[in-house]
Structure formats: C-alpha cells, structure tokens
Amino acid sequence: MKDPSMHEKHLVKPGHKVALGGIDPAESGPYQRKRDVKEPLKACRKELIRLQELLYAEAKHSVLIVLQATDTGGKDGTIRHVMGGVNPQGCQVTPFKAPTAEELAHDYLWRIHKAIPPKRMIGIFNRSHYEDVLVVRVHNLVPPAVWSQRYEQINQFEKHLAENGVTILKFFLHISREEQKRRLQERLDDPNKHWKFSVGDLKERGLWDEYMQAYEDMLNLTSSKWAPWYVIPADREWYRNLAVASIIIETLRGFDMQYPAPAESLDGIVIPD
C-alpha cells in the first residue's frame, strides 16, 4: 500500500472529528532518527526556495500559514527551520500577543485582517485569530455565548480570504504533556534560555486539559476545504519540520506556477561592454 502524503496523513478532514488523545505526538512515520530526515529536509528546503521565487515572480497567489501550539510547542523553531532559507523579501512573520488597547477597541479580527499577506507573499502567523477561541475561552475572558459564535465567524472570514486569492494552511503543532515538561525544564536549566522561561507558563500548563479540549473544538469546527487544519506530531522537531515543509511544498506545486514573460522582447539585446 502506498504511503500517504504528509497532506493526507495529517489533514483534519472537514466534517470529520479528530481526537487529540488518539494522535501520537511522537509519531515520525518511516523515520526513526534525526539523521534519517537530513537529506529529505535538505531537498525540501531547496525546493521551497525555488517555489517561493516562482510565487514572488508570478504574483498571482498569496499564502497564509497559521501556527498554533501550546507553550514550547515549537512555533518559533518551525519558522526558523522550515522557512529559514527563503528570501525574506517574499516572507512576512506576524506574532500575535495580547491585544493592545487600540486592537481591543476594534473587533477581534481587525488586527488579523491587517496582517494578511498580499499577492506574491508568504505570511506566517505565530499564534493567530484562534487565540480568541483558545486563551479567551480557557481563561473566561468573554462569556461562552460570545466565543462560541466565533468558530463560524472565523470560517466565514477565512472563506472570504480564500475567495480573494489567499491560500490558507493551518498547522497545530501537537506535543505531549511530558515533552512540554522536558522543554520547560531545559529552559530552566540553561542560563542562556532563561529569557524564554516564564513563570506564567506553569499556570498555563496547569490548564492542560482545558486547552486540549479547546484545541480539539478548534480543529473540529474550523477545518474547512478552503482553510484546512493539519495536526503535526511535534515531539520530534525534525519530523515536525519535514511534515510542515512537505505540506507547504505540495500546496505550492499545486499552483502550477510559471515565470512571467518579459514586458518587452529580449531578442537581439546585447549587453554593452
């Protein structure tokens, strides 16, 4: 039997229910060790550089990559390792932290819409509009009657983007509770990583079960054909990187992009000495 593509393997099929407890965060497919993905990942990076140049030159598409995860889930690492080789001229990263006073004075999607990438660009959201059905829900920042309406609002917002040329890929980086503890301890033990450690992360860790339920609902209620979710096993960073890169590449190849013709004929042109 043919091994399914990364797209097929990790896709949350619209209309189907996913249970995070049934997905192994340490899964790594046919790969057993980091060195097993060295060459595939190298090939992915080379192909991604090629495809991004095409995307930028053709200027017909924009791509939005949404990364969501628990604390220490690997959002920064994914950006660094997967997108590290692409031309920064064609890529923009937007981190979404607690909203500012100005942002709170608008609807919750206002700050998101402003950051949507234009044509020819790849935009990456480090956290996103989904915080408004995650942390807002878990911490009871608004009543259930408010956040429960946001799933369909987000679906319609993303459909509007898709109908206007934005291709949306959403990745939930799925780590285990044990792996999160290991990563937090690593930050605590290494003085060079103390700047990454926040005592507040321990409070959030205490709400693990509540967050897992919120993530499950997010995945099940907002994975659509126009903006699909992928659950990426992320305990092993090297497999996470390969899976995310492979899905992005599959998507870009599907555009069947071509370099644009020159604005005028180049026949007979001679570069002067």
Which helix (H) or strand (E) element contains residue 65?
strand 62-69
Averaged pLDDT, groups of 10, the chain, 273 residues long? 74 95 96 95 96 96 98 96 92 95 97 97 98 97 97 98 97 98 95 91 95 98 98 98 97 96 84 89
How far apart are the C-alpha atoms of 134 and 126, rounded to whole Å?
A: 14
First to last CA, the chain: 60
- Within a domain: 269: no
- Within a domain: 174: yes
The token duo for 103 is 């942002």
Identify the CATH number of the domain in which residue 179 sits: 3.40.50.300
The token duo for 240 is 């996470």
- Within a domain: 199: yes
Instruction: Give tens-digit pLDDT for 176-224.
Output: 999 999 999 999 999 999 999 988 889 999 999 999 999 999 999 999 9
- Within a domain: 267: no
Instruction: Give tens-digit pLDDT for 147-167.
Output: 999 999 999 999 999 999 999
How many structural domains does the chain have? 1
- Within a domain: 211: yes
Residue length, the chain?
A: 273
- Within a domain: 190: yes
Which residue range is the domain that position 143 belongs to?
Answer: 6-253
- Within a domain: 264: no
- Within a domain: 270: no
With contact defined as beta carbons under 8 Å apart, do 251 and 162 qualify? no
Residue entry with tokens 């004929």: 265
How far apart are the C-alpha atoms of 23 and 215, rounded to whole Å?
A: 13
How far apart are the C-alpha atoms of 28 and 239, rounded to whole Å?
A: 6
Lateral strand order in the sheet of 122-126: 11-12, 229-233, 166-174, 62-69, 122-126, 91-95
pLDDT of res. 4: 67
pLDDT of res. 263: 81
pLDDT of res. 3: 52
**Counting Cβ atoms within 10 Å, is residue 31 exposed (0-12), middle (13-18) or buried (19+)?**
middle
